[in-house]
Amino acid sequence: MISVREEADWVLDEFGGVDLGDKRRTDRLLDNEALSHQALLSGHVQASWERLVAWGAAGERVVLAIQDTTELDFSGHQATSGLGQIGNRYGRGLLAHSTLACTTSGVPLGLLGQAVWARPAPSGLSKAQRKRRPIEEKESAKWLAGLAAVVEGRAQWVTPKVMSTSTSARPGRPGWNCWCGPPRTG
């Protein structure tokens, strides 16, 4: 069991650098329109990269960057606005696409990125028309965005001793087993 002091230390380590703009806002966090999801997550992402670098310095050669999408189901909250379709055509909620770093031995290092969005209403396009759209206009672009976050983070944080891989849930999806090796020199 974690002591209250250790828990407080963890919160400071993970979120201490997040600028809420006003200390009183922590009490009204969910009502704070000035604070974005990415801004709130930024301290944790930074701490995750710092842990990843530390593991690399300790000799860890491969760190996995595992991506997956989770449906956040708010179907029972009829008054909630800003939701999109999830699951079957009757579900309402949000989608959260996360990139989690962990060692090959299963030690989680933290989130390297996360996007949360509401799926837009159906476009009315046929299956053939949807297939012809550029990837940037498709929901599956989330896999490439997750991979881009790993590549961008590696350029800023990771030493050449660490290699990461971005793995999506299924073969054939963008990001399936894309390796990001040590940064090139010269």
The two counts, helices (H) then strands (E), for the chain are 4, 6
CA-CA-CA-CA dihedral for 158, 162, 168, 174, to nearest 10? 70
pLDDT of 161 reads: 54
Query: What pLDDT, on the 0 to 100 scale, is given for residue 139?
Result: 85
Q: Is beta strand 178-180 parallel, antiparallel or unpaired with respect to 163-167? A: antiparallel
Name the 3-class secondary structure at 103: strand
Q: What is the pLDDT of residues 122-147, one digit of tens each?
A: 888 888 998 898 888 888 888 888 88
pLDDT at residue 27 in the model: 53
Residue 12 has pLDDT above 50, yes or no: yes
Q: For residues 2 and 12, what is the distance between their CA atoms, to the nearest angstrom?
A: 15
Tell me which of 3.90.350.10, 3.30.750.24, 2.40.50.430, 3.10.20.600 is the CATH number of domain 59-180. 3.90.350.10
In percent, the amount of the chain with pLDDT more than 70 equals 66
Per-residue confidence band for 1, with pLDDT thresholds at 50, 70 and 90: very low
| Cβ-count burial 8-42 (b if 16+ within 10 Å, e if not) | eeeeeebbeebebeeeeeeeeeeebeebeeeeebe
Q: What is the pLDDT of residue 116?
A: 93
What's the pLDDT score for residue 8?
57
Whether residue 7 is predicted with pLDDT greater than 70 in this model: the reply is no
Pairwise pLDDT comparison (5 vs 134), residue with the higher score? 134
Which of 4-18, 55-69, 116-130 shows the highest mean pLDDT? Answer: 116-130
- The pLDDT tens digits of the residues spanning 85-130 come to 998 888 999 999 999 988 888 889 999 999 999 998 888 888 899 8
- Ranges of each domain in the chain: 59-180
Is residue 158 scored above 80 in pLDDT? no
Q: List pLDDT tens digits, range 14-26.
A: 666 666 566 555 5
Tokens of 94: 């949000």
Question: CA-CA distance, 174 to 166, in Å (whole number)?
Answer: 10
